[in-house]
Structure 1
Amino acid sequence: MHDIRAIRENPAAFDASLARRGIAPLSPEILAHDEARRSAIQAAESAQAAQNTASKAVGAAKAAGNDAEFERLRALVAEKKAEIAAMTTTANAEDLRLRDLLAGIPNLPLAEVPDGRDEADNVEVRRWGSPRNLSFTPKEHFEIKAVQPGMDFAAAAKLSGARFVLLRGAVLRVHRALGQFMLDTHINEHGLTETWTPVLVKDEAMFGTGNLPKFAEDSYQTTNGWWLIPTAEVTLTNTVAGEILDDAQLPIRMCALTQCFRSEAGSAGKDTSGMLRQHQFEKVEMVSITTPEASLAEHDRMTRCAEAILEKLGLPYRTIVLCTGDMGFGSQKTHDLEVWLPGQNTYREISSVSICGDFQARRMNARFRAQGGKPEFVHTLNGSGLAVGRCLIAVLENGQQEDGSVDLPAVLHPYLGGNTRINAAGGLE
Structure 2
Amino acid sequence: MTGTPRFLVSRNFALLWVAQATSSFGEFVLGTTVTVWLVLDLANGDPLLPTYIAAVVIAASAPRLLVAPFAGVWVDRWQAKRTMIGADVIRAALVAPVIVVAAITPGKELMIGSLLGLLVGISVLSQFFNPARAALMQVVIPASRRVDASSKSMFAGLGVAAIAAALGPTLFALYGAIPALAMTMLTFLVSAVVITQTRKLAAIPISDPEITSFWSRFRRGLATAWRVHSVRLVLIGVGLYGVSLGINNAVLALFALETLHLSAAQYGIVAAAFSVGGLIGAVLATPLLNKVGSERLFPAAIVLLGLSYFGYALTRDFWPASALMLLSGVIFAIYVVAQGPILQAATPPGFMGRITAVSVPILGLSSTLATVITSQLLAWASLRASAAGVTLDPQAYAVAIAVGAAVLCVGGAAMAVGSRRRLRESRP
**Alignment TM-score > 0.5, same fold:** no
Who wins on radius of gyration, i.e. which is larger? 1
Query: TM-score of the superposition, structure 2-length normalised?
Result: 0.20
More helix by share: 2
Higher strand share goes to which structure? Answer: 1
- TM-score, normalised to structure 1, is 0.20
